[in-house]
């Protein structure tokens, strides 16, 4: 998500990340709902310039900017980084751990609370609705059932925290 200048990026901000492109990817379309799920690459990154504090700062900027662009904060849902099986892999994405993952989960919840938007605890939803069976063979990304669990987590967060009628239905069976 971050566009933080980091050694792995030749000390240049990566403008194609979520922070660098949210305005053209989201704001210009004025969507009815915005569901955001960032963090797996950030939390796995071993570069010391990529931190949970910078992640939260940039995430706050994105959400604040979405609201300033006229997107109804009651229709913005932030999801915690999803469950994964392992934190090993090729450099520079081998710096994660369960403890670091949980810091990113807490950061997303804090960003949601600070900006008064909705929060989907995707990580814990996946743990309680299939655990690592929802993770693909690469041990990092969700499989099809994992994506369904993520969708349900977002749907439940929106439904639970929103008394108005939602214009889509839960079709995922969780």
- What digits encode the pLDDT tens for the residues 55-84? 999 999 999 999 999 999 999 999 999 999
- Predicted TM-score (pTM) of this structure: 0.84
Domain with 87 in it: 7-160
**150 occurs within a structural domain:** yes
Number of structural domains (the chain) is 1
**172 occurs within a structural domain:** no
Closest by CA position to 101, among listed 122, 116, 118: 122
* Domain CATH code at residue 138: 3.40.50.1110
**1 occurs within a structural domain:** no
**67 occurs within a structural domain:** yes
**169 occurs within a structural domain:** no
Q: What are the structure tokens assigned to 16, written together?
A: 């194609």
Q: Report the C-alpha gap between 80 and 107 in whole angstroms.
A: 8
**106 occurs within a structural domain:** yes
Q: How confident is the model at residue 22 (pLDDT cuts 50, 70, 90)?
A: confident
């Amino acid at each position: 998500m971050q566009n933080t200048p980091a050694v792995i990026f030749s000390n240049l901000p990566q403008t194609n990340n979520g922070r660098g492109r949210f305005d053209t990817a989201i704001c210009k379309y004025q969507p009815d709902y915005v569901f955001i799920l960032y963090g797996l690459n950030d939390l796995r990154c071993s570069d010391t310039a990529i931190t949970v504090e910078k992640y939260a700062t940039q995430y706050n900027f994105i959400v604040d900017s979405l609201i300033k662009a006229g997107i109804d904060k009651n229709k913005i849902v932030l999801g915690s980084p999803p469950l994964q099986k392992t934190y090993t892999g090729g450099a520079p994405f081998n710096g994660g751990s369960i403890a670091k993952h949980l810091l990113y989960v807490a950061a997303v919840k804090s960003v949601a609370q600070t900006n008064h938007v909705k929060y989907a605890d995707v990580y814990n939803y996946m743990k309680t609705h299939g655990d690592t069976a929802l993770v693909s063979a690469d041990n990092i990304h969700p499989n099809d059932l994992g994506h369904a669990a993520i969708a349900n987590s977002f749907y439940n967060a929106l439904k639970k925290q929103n008394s108005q009628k939602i214009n889509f239905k839960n079709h995922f069976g969780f």
